[in-house]
Amino acid sequence: MLFHQRDRTLRQGVREPRFSLKGCVECHAGRESGSVLGKDGFCSSCHSYASVKIDCFECHSALRQKKLAGRP
Amino acid sequence: MNPERRQMLGWGAAAAGAVAAAGLAPGLSLIELARARSPQEAASALQRWGLLIDISKCGQCNDCVTACHEENGVTSQGRPETDAQWIRKVTLRDRHTSYAQTLPMMCQHCEHPPCVDVCPTGASFKREDGIVLVDKHTCIGCRYCVLACPYGARSFIHETVSGQKADVPRGKGTVESCTLCAHRVDRGEIPACVEACNRDGGKAMAFGDLNDASSEIHRRLRAEPSTQVRADLALNTGVRYQGL
């Protein structure tokens, strides 16, 4: 589904918050690291366990953009 | 022709007329008007985004280039020969009089883009609203488009990239160029270069919808002379220049 939505976003300019990769990262990024990568990262922990090759974050930013509430 | 058949044709013509009349019913119109779209809506061919650059106002500053590279996270690796370049300043000098002009050069967002024609994977494409982009998911880095572009607008990424902006994914082994700040345009903002030029520079750049008759850029293009770079190629560029 992500594949399909990614093409709609890029090729048709449909930027729905529901299918935004930026949106995924905002919530799933680690509390400490602010990233979905790393040893306990939401994406990379499963991908490295299952030896999945696809890596969105060679190109896309893996970092949360907004500051967490109550943090500097 | 037998009478029944003639009757049928008559009914067909009447039905076609009724459909045409229904086009004018409430809620339907013959010409859809261009308007700002919501994030859920796809880019539409009713719009064609473009730039108008008045070279007489373009001075020696580099603000458009700095703003572009800042917005899109394009950083130098310290090797100018292979660094990505989304927009650059070009100086034109008259050989006889030494009169020099400077202008920003970037992807011209052609209506008939040669980069799209030559792309073997369909990665190079034109969005409905006229913005020419590279789908880096399908780009294999063959660089045909780099050679095909008459404006030298495309760059190949030779090295691993880090510190990308959230809105602008970039990666090694793909080709990239000016996106007309599609991520900003989709939010209803203007491209970073235009914003910087109007804030700090010579106010030489204007951005707008070339199809919208009420837009400033449409009005100026209709009333004032402007040129396309390499107009002989008949690419119908979205970026137009004045005073060239």
The predicted-structure confidence for B53-107, as pLDDT tens digits, reads as follows: 999 999 889 999 999 999 999 998 888 889 999 999 999 999 999 999 999 999 9
pLDDT of B9 reads 57
Residues B107, B112, B117, B122: is their CA dihedral positive or negative? positive
Rounded to the nearest angstrom, the minimum Cα separation between B96 and chain A is: 46
ipTM of predicted assembly, 2 dp: 0.84
In chain A, the number of structural domains is: 1
Residues A39, A43, A49, A52: is their CA dihedral positive or negative? negative
* pLDDT surpasses 60 at B232: yes
Residue B74: list chain A partners with CB under 8 A: none
CATH class for domain B49-242? alpha beta
Question: Between A17 and A61, whose confidence is greater?
Answer: A61
Interface contact A13-B161, CB threshold 8 A: no
Interface contact B166-A65, CB threshold 8 A: yes
Rounded Cα gap, residues B46 and B36, in angstroms? 11
Considering CB atoms only, which of B125, B164, B165 is closest to A11?
A: B125
* pLDDT surpasses 60 at B10: no
Low-confidence winner among A25-39, B102-116, B198-212, B213-227 (lowest mean pLDDT) = A25-39
Rounded to the nearest angstrom, the minimum Cα separation between A70 and chain B is: 23
pLDDT of B17 reads 47
* pLDDT surpasses 70 at B16: no
**Is residue A68 situated within a structural domain?**
no
CB neighbour list of residue B51: distance below 8 Å, 6 or more residues apart = B180, B191, B194, B205, B206, B207, B217, B238, B239, B240
3-state secondary structure of B24: coil
* pLDDT surpasses 50 at B34: no
Considering CB atoms only, which of B127, B165, B186 is closest to A61?
A: B165
pLDDT of B242 reads 95
**Is residue A49 situated within a structural domain?**
yes
**Is residue A9 situated within a structural domain?**
no
**Is residue A36 situated within a structural domain?**
yes
3-state secondary structure of B159: coil
Give the tokens for residue B153.
Answer: 């607008």
Residue that the structure tokens 């922990």 belong to: A45
**Is residue A20 situated within a structural domain?**
no
* pLDDT surpasses 50 at B22: no
Q: By residue range, what is the domain housing residue A56? A: 25-63
**Is residue A34 situated within a structural domain?**
yes
What residues does CATH 3.30.70.20 cover in chain B?
A: 49-242
**Is residue A12 situated within a structural domain?**
no
Rounded Cα gap, residues B202 and A28, in angstroms? 44
**Is residue A35 situated within a structural domain?**
yes
